[in-house]
A and B are shown apart, each in its own frame.
Chain A
Amino acid sequence: MNQQPFVRIFTAPATLCAVGFLAAMAAVLQYSLRAYVPGSLDPGGLTLANFADLLKPLYARVFLDTVVVCAMTAVVTLIVGYPLAYALVRVEQPILRSILLVIVVTPLFLGEVVRTYAWIIVLGNNGFINSLLMSLGLIGKPLQLMFTSFGVVVALVHVTLPVMVIMLAAGLSHIDRDYPRAAESLGAGPIRVFLTVTLPLSLPGVVAGTTTAFAWTFSAFATPQLIGGGRVNMISNLVYQLGFSSFNFPFAATLCVAGLALTALVLGLLRLASRPLRKIEVH
């Protein structure tokens, strides 16, 4: 087809945005290679020292914690999200479907702060769960739920659930209903139909959902900050602390770069592990 003159006009703003974003990322990369000058906002000369500092046990520990929290969150979210996604796709009654959809989607748009705050009220020492259990006489003194990895993961699962459900539902909804019907006609019971047909065909959605859940959790800041309260630290918290408490922007940038590399590595591994699945993507 003939190249239209307006194509260039239509791409120009997007190109500008892409360049701006690249510049911002380049700025991070550049800072990560500069020395920290205490007491000054401007960075010093070129150095690789920041990257060497990453190997200090303190920071290595935070990296490890982050990966563990992200992995746990992704797995739990997957297990909790699957039944909900399945229900969302299979419910046929329009009203029920709409209600379910709104319940699933609304938290996605609520933002991390509101949801994290709500979990503080649920998990706190005077919070909902402890008050409930104490008034039922099940416990004598409050359970410690805040400032634990458990609390952080529960809240993060809640934060990540909607996006997981949406991605799983997208995968499930593209499975032709005739496949499970065919299996059923061949004598497979509901569980066998699910395990041999529906589940394998939905695996691309599972991979997409898990990947996104991992990336989102990695990005979370308010939840580990407020519910972890300094006792559960993720890379995001460290970056903020370095930047705004000690103005060590070069090292904050280094952590960002390392975080990006880590995300890329994990996502790459997930992709690699799921390569055999690509064959079964059905459209």
Chain B
Amino acid sequence: MTPRSTYQKVLGWIGLLTVFVIVAFLILPAAVVTIAAFNDKPILSFPPQTWSWRWFGRALAYEDFRQGFFNGLIVTTWSSTIALCVGGMFAFVIDRYEFPLKSAIEGILISPLVIPHFTVGLGFLILAAQVGLSRGFAIVVICHVILVLPFVLRSVYVSLRNLDQSYEHAASSLGAGPLRVLATVTLPLLLPGLVSGWLFAAILSFNEFTASLFVTSQRTQTLPVAMYNYVREFADPSMAALSVMYIVGTAALIAFANAFLGLGKVLNIEQSH
């Protein structure tokens, strides 16, 4: 332990308290929703008089939620896989090669980070109408690919930067052509970055709401859209129960990702010593 003065210790406690309060603020909504979800009464009240699991059953049985969940799976699987392929290949060439319009294309693909999702959603809605594309899954998937691409690009790009080029140099000095180097050395070493990029994209896509509200139809609505519509119409705790499942599922995925991939590294917040 480093030696500390009383003054430093007091400051430390104040700091700890501050962090504690902020963490409490962060988890307050999740905690409150959890309590609400177990309230037996259909109207909100704190603290609940009687407890039950029934709203979980209701949430799981509710047709719009089921439909939204499966639609979400379809959209998420397609969009994050496509984004990973497109973004992975592109991140590789921007890291390694010079070609015309390189920074222009990169800039366009990164820009959805700062363009409001309602603008992106409206844009694809109009575009679909103009080119005569029906409001099916295709337009939702395309829209999601564009929205998650910046994250995939970044994640793969960071892994590529951290990859020591001498492995690839070694492979080509041993006679491996570019595609062989890619398949036998670069890809295997990049795998954690690719997996985390995919996971990142999948979670974002599954939760995307604003743009989805514009481009989905009754038939293709994803879970967040279904939940939004539910909140607008009903006030019973089914939504709270669904939220709890959502929170638990997401936290579990994040904890898993952290254990296996090191979120700190992916998010670039590892302390340098």
Contact = CB atoms under 8 A, between A and B. Distances in A.
Q: Do chains A and B touch in the complex (CB under 8 A)?
A: yes
Nearest to B115: A260
Nearest to A219: B116
Contacts of B7: 189-190
A11 interface: yes
Contacts of A4: 97, 178
A109 B90 contact: no
A191 to B, nearest CB: 7
Interface in B181-234: 203-204, 206-210, 213-214, 224, 227-228, 231-232
A3 B273 CA distance: 39
A14 B86 contact: yes
B19 A84 contact: yes
A253 B23 CA distance: 39
A253 B126 contact: yes
A117 B46 contact: no
B254 A102 contact: yes
A230 to B, nearest CB: 12
Q: Looking at chain B, what size class is its interface with the partner chain?
A: 35 or more
Given A117-B227, A190-B8, A15 B105 contact: yes
A111 B114 contact: no
A100 B8 CA distance: 23
Contacts of A148: none
Contacts, number: 269
B134 interface: no
A33 interface: no
Contact of B240 (A10, A121, A253): A121
B99 A113 contact: no
A215 B113 contact: yes
Interface string A10-38: 11011101101111110110010000000
Nearest to B237: A121
A158 B246 CA distance: 17
A18 B109 contact: yes
B75 interface: no
Interface string B103-114: 011001101111
Residue from the set B11, B26, B116, B263 with the largest chain A CB neighbour count within 10 Å: B116
A15 to B, nearest CB: 6
Interface of A (DSSP majority class): helix
Given A10-B93, A106-B250, A89 B269 contact: yes
A3 B98 CA distance: 8
A221 B204 contact: no
Contacts of B174: none
B26 A256 contact: no
A243 B214 contact: yes
20 contacts: A13-B85, A13-B89, A15-B101, A18-B104, A21-B111, A24-B124, A24-B127, A28-B126, A80-B22, A83-B18, A84-B26, A105-B267, A109-B254, A110-B250, A114-B207, A116-B231, A122-B29, A174-B272, A259-B119, A263-B114
Interface of B: 7-8, 11, 15, 18-19, 22-23, 25-30, 32-33, 35-36, 43-47, 85-87, 89-90, 92-93, 97, 99, 101, 104-105, 108-109, 111-120, 122-127, 129-130, 142, 145-146, 149, 178-179, 203-204, 206-210, 213-214, 224, 227-228, 231-232, 239-240, 243, 246-247, 250-251, 253-255, 258-259, 263-264, 267-273
Given A10-B93, A218-B116, 14 more contacts: A11-B90, A28-B126, A80-B22, A84-B26, A87-B15, A88-B269, A90-B271, A107-B26, A113-B231, A118-B30, A158-B26, A166-B267, A222-B209, A243-B125
